Amino acid sequence: MAREFVLPDIGEGLTEAEIVRWLVPEGGRVEADQPVVEVETDKAVVEIPSPYAGTVLRHGGAEGETIRVGSVLVVIGEEGEVEASTPAAPEPEPTHAAPPIVGSLSEEAEVLVPADQLAAGHGATAVKALPIVRKLARDMGVDLGQVRGSGPEGRITREDVMAAAPPSTETTAPAVEPSPPAEAAEPPPATVSGEGERRPLSRLRRTIAANMAKSWAEIPHVTTFDEVDATRLVEIRSALGARHDVRLPMEALVIKAVIPALEAFPEFNATLDGDDLIIHGAHDIGIAVDTPDGLLVAVVRDAGPRGILDIASEVRRLGEGARERSLAPDELTGQTFTVSNIGAVGGGQGTPIVPYGTTAILSVGRAQEKVVVNNGDLAIAPVMPLSLSYDHRVIDGAQGRRFMALVIENLEEPALFLAG
């Protein structure tokens, strides 16, 4: 008998995924637990195994198509079997649940009727949008009743909201409800001049764009800059690498140097949730990874008690997995503090954006030889630039400087954190 296998929620409240590649064609044989399809979520590309053995009678979508969780992914039966016709899936019931806590994307699309239509006694034309898209619209001052959705069945997407947003907003101004325009007007599409081209953003790039816009719009950023004499850090890195015959990523040393500072100043390892500050017990350190598809943040779980070689091995594994897009969704979410080694691509100082749901991020630049004063004498030393961004709602400038001072002390003398 033909059996339908629906797209499951493979983690982190998945609501939809894009089909990247079918691993078994229609008419092909598949065994139980054999990967049948590759799908791309917001951050990861994962293989989904078939729960049944049999013949693939029908794919639930073409490569490049986006399907929702709960929709038919693949139909599997016996060879030569004809799939029975099935009625179209009913529309999901509208939900009016309260918005979720930070990071959840588990709601279904919600159907809304614009206020002006309700006032006029009309309800035929409804607005369909996921709750996370509706919140983005509120944050950016976009009236969803005036936006035409480009998603399936007219659903409004993040891109539709961002395209309809005003050119600029004052983030320090008090929030006000936008007045509905006299006429529904859509912004004219940007024209392509000369020999240019229009490129649709990838799913990952769209996710990055939405996350960056949310963080920058909602978090009042402060960035403090400094430099550290990295002479001892470079020596220790070289010595450990030679002794253990491994490549020691700079991120591993920086993570170990940061842990004592996070313990001394727990507000940097926290999440602001309404009027409450959640101090995390574990130090789940995100590491920014430059991949061909865009920036990903992989997470070193519970870094505090782990040894330097263990962290180094995990950083290498996560970096390779991120570049290959083979990490699981839970390896790409949930960091409590982030380290970004922009020195790996030749960067110096910058203004890193605090990942949403955290309070701080440390950016480490490339060490370059400079003249330094050491006990009154001039010397040449590798100097590493540091940039610390933090949420000013939670962390004051003096506390930011104290945190940075402790990190610098540890980086200048690695024995202080390696002995722990």
Every domain range in the chain assigned CATH 2.40.50.100: 3-77
Instruction: Give CA–CA dist 356/212, Å, rounded.
Output: 8
The number of C-alpha atoms within 13 Å of 105 and in the hemisphere containing its C-beta is: 20
Cβ atoms 15, 152 nearer than 8 A: no
Tell me what pLDDT residue 180 has.
46
Tell me the residue type at 76. I
Catalytic residue among 96, 221, 283, 392: 392
CATH, domain 3-77, list 2.40.50.100, 3.40.50.800, 3.40.640.10, 2.40.30.10: 2.40.50.100
First vs last C-alpha separation in the chain: 61
Every domain range in the chain assigned CATH 4.10.320.10: 107-167+203-218
Tell me what pLDDT residue 185 has.
55
Note the CATH number of domain 222-418: 3.30.559.10
Q: What is the SS3 assignment for 387?
A: strand
Residue-wise pLDDT tens digits, 304-356:
999 999 999 999 999 999 998 888 888 998 999 999 998 888 778 889 999 99
Tell me what pLDDT residue 410 has.
95
Cβ atoms 328, 317 nearer than 8 A: no
DSSP 24: S
How is residue 201 written in tokens? Answer: 């953003």
H helix runs in 219-354, sequence order: 231-244, 250-264, 308-324
Catalytic status, residue 392? yes
Q: Does domain 107-167+203-218 have CATH number 1.20.1080.10?
A: no
Q: What is the DSSP string of 193-246?
A: PTT----PPPHHHHHHHHHHHHHHHHS-EEEEEEEEE-HHHHHHHHHHHHHHTS
Every domain range in the chain assigned CATH 3.30.559.10: 222-418
Question: What are phi and psi for residue 117, nearest 5 degrees?
Answer: -75, -35
Residue-wise pLDDT tens digits, 276-307:
999 999 999 999 998 888 889 999 999 999 99
How is residue 87 written in tokens? Answer: 């009625």
Instruction: Give CA–CA dist 253/236, Å, rounded.
Output: 9
Tell me what pLDDT residue 174 has.
38
Residue 297, C-beta contacts closer than 8 angstroms, at least 6 positions apart: 286, 287, 288, 289, 332, 335, 338, 355
Cβ atoms 126, 110 nearer than 8 A: no
Using alpha carbons, select from 253, 250, 407 the residue that is nearest to residue 344.
Answer: 250
Instruction: Give CA–CA dist 257/300, Å, rounded.
Output: 14
Tell me what pLDDT residue 135 has.
62
Read off the pTM: 0.63
Q: Can you list the residues of the chain whose pLDDT is less than 50?
A: 86-111, 113-125, 168-184
Longest CA pairwise span in the chain (Å): 86
Instruction: Give CA–CA dist 182/205, Å, rounded.
Output: 34
Cα distances from 235 to residues 183, 382, 411, 415, in angstroms, run 67, 11, 11, 12
